[in-house]
Structures are given as C-alpha cells and as structure tokens.
Amino acid sequence: MTRKSNRIFSGVQPTNNLHLGNYLGAVRNWVRMQKDYECIFCVVDLHAITLWQEPAALRQNTREVAAAYIASGIDPDASIIFAQSQVSAHAQLAWILNCVARLGWLNRMTQFKEKAGKNRENASVGLYAYPVLMAADILAYKGTHVPVGEDQKQHLELARDIAQKFNHDYKVDFFPLPEPVIGGPATRVMSLRDGAKKMSKSDESDYSRINMTDDADTIALKFRKAKTDPNALPGPESLDERGEVKDEALAARPEAFNLLSIHAALSDASLSETVNRFAGMEFSRFKGELTDLAVAKLGPINSEMKRLLSHPDEIDALLRKGAQRAQTIALPVLRQVEEIVGFLH
C-alpha cells in the first residue's frame, strides 16, 4: 500500500496525566492511523523540561504517557513508541536547525508568548527554541504527516519553513515538508467547569477534566459535578441545515454542547445524531448515560494503564527497544544532514 511510505510522527509531553481531551483529540486518532501509515509516537521529555519538572514526577509521567499510548491501542510492535531523550539525534539535529531558523520566525510564536507570560526575561532559552526541537523531532524521521491539534499548527508551519530553508540554503531536496493531519470529528474537548476553555492538564481544578487514570467513581463524580445550565438538552432547533451546531446556539450553551460532543465522540456518532437523540432530556439523566458510556470506554484503558504501570521495568524496557528502532531511522538521517552541512566524518 502506497500510504505506508508516508510516515507519521507525533508526540505528547510528559508534563501531567493525559486527559479525555488528549485521548479523543489525539491518541484515539493515532490508533486508527496505524493501519495506513508507518507511525512513530514519542514521549517528548526534552520538551517537558522547557518548564520546570520535578525529576521524579517527570520519570513517572514519561511512563504514564507510554502506558496510555499502549493501553489506548497503539501497538508497540507495529508502531514505534519511545522517549525523546533516549535518541540523541533529536537534540543534535535541533542544534543544526537552530542555525537555520530565524529569530524573527520564533518571535511570532504565540505559544511562547502565552507560556512565558509577563516575565519573559525569566523564561528558559529552551522554551523559546521549543518549536525548533519539534521540527527536529519530525525531520529526523523525514516525517511526512503530523497529527496535531489547533494549538500546534503554527509550530508545524514553522517546521515546514525550516525544512524549506534548509533545502534551499544547501541546495538539496532533502527534507519533505511535513503536513498536518486533522484528526477525527468532534474532538475539541472543553473544560467541565467552563465550556469556553479547553480541557487542559494545567487547569488548577481537577474537576475540569477527566484524566485517563481516573477510575469509574471519579469519572461519575466529575460528570455529576460538571457545569450545565438549568434547561433541558437542546434539540434539532440548534442545528443548521448541514447538521452543525449554530454559532449562536453554541455560544449560549457551551457546556451543554461540550457534554454532547464528548458523548458523540465516545459513541462514534456525529454530533447532530447525538443532539437529536437526547433532545429535551434532563441533564441529570443525560449525565448518567454519559457516565455509563465513558466508564465503558475508558474503564478498560484505565485498568490496562494501571496494569502496565505496576511493572515500570517492563515499560522502561519497551521504551528502550522503541528508542533503538527510532535510532535506526534517525541516525542515518542525522549523518546525511551532517554531510550536507559540511561536518567531517
């Protein structure tokens, strides 16, 4: 199959637990991509330390992300799962690409501005160079397709710019320009406490998100406490002729539509089918149905994660093996880059 010549690269930072937003928005789609693409999924620990991480927590979170990948259905034999720091080509290529990328390009990155906040002078140099490392991640494998969320699109654009400038400056046709892959439907999962904010691992309130490590009781409690409004669930009047939620309906009831789209995603239904199905139902009853569905879908993933995490040595061994496989792809690419740049061998 020709699409197998395409190569997917993506990664998640081990900065905290994965949550439902990561699962529905990313990992679940990756699982499906395995049949059409050669896939490399990374736990990007080098990116994680651009903000302070407690060493013990970083180690644990790295294992947790790997366990979540596997428990969600990423096959560590078919795909490559590894930790970024265990393949030195990432850092080495990043340095070379630092010398290709321009300050002006990085100055435009909105995520740096958000993460650095007001005290920009005190941000790490790594936080600033973060998108160049991300470009190195992808280009070290000559990745062609990158599943990313909305928030990473600008970084992927930058990776394309870097690849293009490298090819141009050195007069080679070496790096492919990686393309974004937009994931499946209905997967912008919002906070359970505020339907206008994305579900996020950095939100102070744990009630704002469903973590992939949450057990059935915790999932039930969080959905029960999820913010709603006093009305019954919206119906077909909130949909336009294409079956999409009208902007004004969404703006009026973001929490209701968030819960509906979580239900839709978990049941592999479209949002319009889901809206029609639950039209006029009381929230308390709908939340019960949503909880049952979430527990049925996430429960097995949760228990598999727990099982895997009870054998950290096995996860570590698996990641080491993944790193070796990753290295056999990345190292020859790095060697060729060094040759192109003019480094001695």
Query: What are the residue numbers of the active site?
Result: 115, 198, 201
Cα separation, 97 vs 337, whole angstroms? 10
User: How many residues lie near ligand TRP (CB under 6 A)?
Assistant: 13
3-state secondary structure of 8: strand
Q: What angle do CA 166, 169, 171 make, to 5 degrees?
A: 95
CB nearer to ligand TRP: pick between 156 and 294: 156
Shortest separation between residue 180's beta carbon and ligand TRP, angstroms = 9
Of all residues in the shown chain, the one whose CB is closest to ligand TRP is 11
Considering beta carbons, is residue 44 or 256 the nearer one to ligand TRP?
Answer: 44
In the region spanning residues 268 to 327, those forming contacts with ligand TRP, defined by CB under 6 A, are none
Quote the distance between the C-alpha of residue 45 and its chain's center.
Answer: 14
CA distance linking residue 17 with residue 75, whole number of Å: 20
| Residue 106-135 contact track with ligand TRP, rule CB under 6 A, x = bound | ----------------------------x-
Encoding tokens for residue 196?
Answer: 């206008």
Q: What tokens were used for 264?
A: 């839709």
CB count within 10 Å of CB 107 equals 10
Least distance (Å) between residue 130 CB and ligand TRP: 7
Least distance (Å) between residue 281 CB and ligand TRP: 35
**Among residues 71 and 138, whose Cβ is nearest to ligand TRP?**
138
Binding mask 131-170 for ligand TRP (x = CB under 6 A): ---x--xx-------x-x---x--x---------------
For ligand TRP, the closer of residues 188 and 227 by Cβ is 188
- Find the shortest distance in angstroms from Cβ 244 to ligand TRP: 26
**Which CB sits closer to ligand TRP, 220 or 334?**
334
CB contact burial 225-238 (16+ within 10 A = b; e otherwise):
ebbbeeeebbeeeb
Q: Please state the closest distance from residue 269 (CB atom) to ligand TRP, in A.
A: 27
- Of the two residues 127 and 245, which places its CB atom closer to ligand TRP in the complex? 127
- Give the contact letters, 8-47, x = binds to ligand TRP (CB under 6 A), - = no: -xxx-x------------------------------x--x
Long-range (24+ apart) CB contacts under 8 A made by 290-294 are: 290/223, 290/259, 290/262, 290/263, 290/266, 291/219, 291/220, 291/223, 291/224, 293/263, 293/266, 293/267, 294/20, 294/210, 294/219, 294/223, 294/262, 294/266
Nearest in space to 187 (alpha carbons), one of 290, 296, 270, 299 = 270
Q: How far is the CB of 13 from ligand TRP (least distance, A)?
A: 5
* DSSP assigned state of 23: I
Which residues are at the interface with ligand TRP (CB under 6 A)? 9-11, 13, 44, 47, 134, 137-138, 146, 148, 152, 155
